[in-house]
Amino acid sequence: MNVINNIRQLRSWSTINKGTRCVLVPTMGALHEGHAALIRAAREIAGQNGNVAVSIFVNPLQFGPGEDFSKYPRTLIEDLGICRDNGADMIFAPKAEELYPTDRSILLQETSLSQLLCGASRPGHFEGVCTIVAKLFNLVQCDDAVFGKKDYQQFAIIRRLVRDLDFNVVLHAIDTMREEDGLAMSSRNRYLSPEERAEAPALRAALVAARTSWKNGERDPKALERLITQQIQEKAPSGRIDYVAAADATTLQPVSATTELVVIAVAVFFGTTRLIDNIELK
């Protein structure tokens, strides 16, 4: 397994492996079983003769003022072991100064999907996401890229990025990995106090309740949102809801008569820790 930390070495690796299918798994490190599942999925897509590349980079551009950039967990040694054990061929783990010149002056901005949900409360976040993903696609020269569905809005925006800027990259969305009690796996779960951790599975339980209501015929998005809000408030009293929103899964706009797939997304603060989750309604 190659571990690379600078652009020169990465470009050399990409040149040597040109013509070999490459599948990228972008991460911010602090890897857990959810990331391991993404790497395993990438390994399957790449096949025996392809390459699986994993980026490990805590991207400063996607953290706003007062967010957790400085304390975001950095566990590179453990991360490398997880990558190796799950089939990665190359790890790109640069420092920020390697990717961002001090006089950088260009950011990529998405102006539609990023205005809602997480984008409404995290201004500038998705500019940082789009910028780093575009740089990684350009540097790694991957054929495919694998993302988790937990960050549903992020995947929708990256899908739009690939479409609008004509990246020759095939995207794959992998179902969210969960703890036994339903909580979506996240690097930020380690921030939770024992009391908060006990309440956090209420997010998934509320989403599942909404799906049951949907299967029983409820089609009013606002009614589903109210159901989820009520359940979270009852079962997770220490949580502070950022948003509960039913949306078109492709455009992230409010559900309409033409919506083919509905996603309900939630974001809830436990103290300063912000957790997100979602569920698709078919």
pLDDT of residue 187: 94
Considering the chain, tell me which residue range(s) the CATH 3.30.1300.10 domain(s) occupy: 187-281
**Would you call 53 helix, strand, or coil by DSSP?**
strand
125-140 and 7-16 helices, crossing angle to 10°: 50
Outline which parts of the chain fall under CATH 3.40.50.620: 2-174
Q: Return the pLDDT at 257.
A: 87
Bridge partners (DSSP) listed for residue 22: 51
Running along the chain, 282 residues long, what does each successive block of 10 average in pLDDT?
A: 97 95 98 98 97 98 93 95 98 97 96 95 96 98 98 98 98 97 96 97 98 96 97 97 97 92 98 97 92
pTM of the model as a whole: 0.95
Q: Which pLDDT belongs to residue 282? A: 87
Task: Name the one residue in this structure whose structure tokens are 């540097």.
Answer: 139
Q: Is 35 a catalytic residue?
A: yes
- Give residue 210's pLDDT: 98
Tokens read off for 214: 């949907």
In a 13 Å sphere around the CA of 227, the CA atoms on its Cβ side amount to: 20
Q: Which residue has the tokens 């049951």?
A: 212
Classify 187-281 by CATH class. alpha beta
CB–CB of 25/51 below 8 Å?
Answer: no
Q: Which two tokens stand for residue 235?
A: 């079962």
Residue-wise over 100-119: b if at least 16 C-beta within 10 A, else e? beeeeeeebebeebbebbbb
Which CATH fold would you assign to the domain 2-174?
Rossmann fold (3.40.50)
What torsion, rounded to 10 degrees, do the Cα atoms 280, 41, 268, 182 define? 80
